[in-house]
Amino acid sequence: MTIEELKQRKLILLEAISGSKAYGTDTPQSDTDIRGVFILPQEAIYGLDDVAQISDETQDITYYELGRFIELLAKNNPNILELLNVPSDCLLYKHPLMDHIKSEDFLTKQCKNTFAGYAMTQVKKARGLNKKILNPVEKARKNILHFCYVTAGQGAVPLLKWLEIKNYQQIHCGLVNIAHMRDVYALFYDDAGTYKGIMLKEKANQVALSAVPKEAHPEAYLYFNKDGYSYYCKQYKAYWDWVEERNEARYENTMQHGKHYDTKNMMHTMRLIDMAEEIALQKQVIVRRPNRDYLMQIRAGEFTYEALLDTAEKKIAQMDHLYEQSDLPEKVDLEKVNALLARMRREYYG
């Protein structure tokens, strides 16, 4: 089933403008996000054509089937609660059937986790982004040789420097395990090609071992920082995956204001925290943000990353107390919710 079919068959129950235009934090460049609710034809409910959600290719337009919509409401999903409480100027269509759904019947103490908890994940995401911006990883990938060290006198030198000093090649080196000494090896050298070398291939994860005659004398002892190499590989992959997948327009904006954080991400983080507070104190979901100017200042990069994180973390630290004092129910009454959904379907299908 497509969005066009939903409209042709008049299956849409709710349609609204959501996202930044509903929050009041949109800019001239903002997309128009449409969210809504539809109801499946009765024969689809009984058959195999059950569809929970329908979106366009860009994901800018999404409709949720009534059952899925109520299921997500019962889980206190922020996007769904916002859709139920959009400002009147963003409401494009509302079927009378939707009047049966009351926001206050779904607000519970779970909102602490779905709003503030999600905001905390965004704070962590912001930390990760900040770290990537401030600590870029060179494109040229290091190999295990960069994490090997060789004894020299009473100390140690990097393997690559030691090879350069000795005018040796790693392919002519041979390593032998030393019992009871993790990642430490006796290092032998023979330019006749007797040994396997230290690294068999460029992306090897372990040093190579060679068969060495018992009478051979080691040139030195080598330590392979295997843990350090494993950590580097994870950091390298994470950084360059991020480079490949990042939204370049948002990244350029992040770099332009010079604060080294994703301002749009932090704006929504602070919005979610404020909404979590409002639900605990006022028992309502306020979609159109009364502190729009403050949020737009965040988006413009007018605050330091550290100041915003400090504010966010202090607010989140107080959230437990707010929800402990609130008389919101612990969770949704699922028996009541099931009865509501059944009643709405019976009324619609006649």
Q: Where are the domains of the chain?
A: 1-105+332-350, 107-136+247-329, 144-232
Does 125 have pLDDT greater than 80?
no
**Tokens, residue 67:** 């059952």
Check: pTM over 0.85? Answer yes or no.
no
Contact 222, 184 (CB under 8 A): yes
Fold of 1-105+332-350: Beta Polymerase; domain 2 (3.30.460)
Does 170 have pLDDT greater than 90?
yes
Q: Is 123 helix (H, G, I), strand (E, B) or coil?
A: helix
In angstroms, the Cα distances linking 309 to 77, 182, 313, 344 are 24, 41, 6, 44
The reported pLDDT for the residue numbered 257 is 56
Binned at pLDDT 50, 70 and 90, residue 49 comes out as confident
The reported pLDDT for the residue numbered 136 is 83
DSSP alpha helix (H) spans, the chain:
3-8, 20-23, 42-46, 66-74, 78-84, 111, 118-134, 159-166, 226-245, 248-257, 263-282, 292-299, 305-325, 334-349
The reported pLDDT for the residue numbered 253 is 58
Q: Between the ranges 6-10, 97-101, 238-242, where is the mean pLDDT highest?
A: 97-101
Bigger pLDDT: 90 vs 127? 90
The reported pLDDT for the residue numbered 78 is 96
The reported pLDDT for the residue numbered 44 is 85
Rounded-to-integer distance, Cα 54 and Cα 38, Å: 9
Polymer length in residues for the chain = 350
Strand arrangement, sheet containing 12-18: 53-55, 61-65, 33-38, 12-18, 91-94
Does 197 have pLDDT greater than 90?
yes
The reported pLDDT for the residue numbered 221 is 97
The reported pLDDT for the residue numbered 126 is 66
What is the Cα 17 distance to its own chain's centre? 25
The reported pLDDT for the residue numbered 249 is 57
Rounded-to-integer distance, Cα 6 and Cα 40, Å: 9
* Closest by Cα among 290, 323, 285 to 117: 323
